[in-house]
A and B are shown apart, each in its own frame.
Chain A
Amino acid sequence: MNTGKLHAVPGSAAQPDLIGRCQKGEKEALGELYRLYRAEVARNLHRMLGPGRGDLEDVLQEVFIEVFRSIGRFRGDAKITTWLYRVCVNVALQRLRKRKRRAEVSTDNVGERAPDIHGAETPERDLDNRRRLDAVYRILDELSPKKRVVFILHEIEGREPKEIAGIVGAPVLTVRTRLHYARKEFYARAASDARLDGVAPTREVQS
């Protein structure tokens, strides 16, 4: 399973002064930073926000603008990837809160701007996967943003509570509590969600 962590991209290790150049405001360095991490950031944002949204590119831009603005305050206490991920989660959280305020609902266009899903070789399986994915994010939309983020970080990205605590800036115990209630709420909603009935639970995607 892809853990969704921000991986160091080949070539980045060969440029240890990239962050320093970014902090000096070198445009080329900022461009390099963007090109190195845009795909990873986009993927993580996609997982946080869900499929079928038209705002992914807006949020991606928000993340990088925030990264560019805050890079001067990056002290190197954490890995750049962890720091980037923290910014990513914060911007996603902000966007989720905004969605909540607007009582926004998921689009019905299953598959719109749909991502690539590994393990779905046939169009039928692909469609089934997209439907499942859509159903899951509809349920996630009903969770509070804080619970949603913790749930996604653990259940989808496979991160440990301690790591999640570092990302969301909360004590480990709080993360565990949030995770417990998020799982309880998610599965309770799933069990009573008739929209999941139309999609047969096949096993192909777990390969």
Chain B
Amino acid sequence: MLTIDARGLSCPQPVMLCKKKIDAGEEEFTILVDDPCAEGNIKRVGKNNNYSLEFIDKGNDEKEIILKKEVVNNV
């Protein structure tokens, strides 16, 4: 699975990396962050674009966020 390393990047670069992948139609990818601000931004942009998010604590303040495109049911 595609993994993006956004650790240590200043705001708003982590969320921009995430947004680029969403805009490119990437259905499933992982993003590594070490900043609570970046984490909140990614959570928001993911939810706004119908992605499910899973957060895995990697220790030393690092988190792996797995984003998966949710199938939108239009029925």
A and B: bona fide binding partners:
no
Give B contacts to A, CB under 8 Å: none
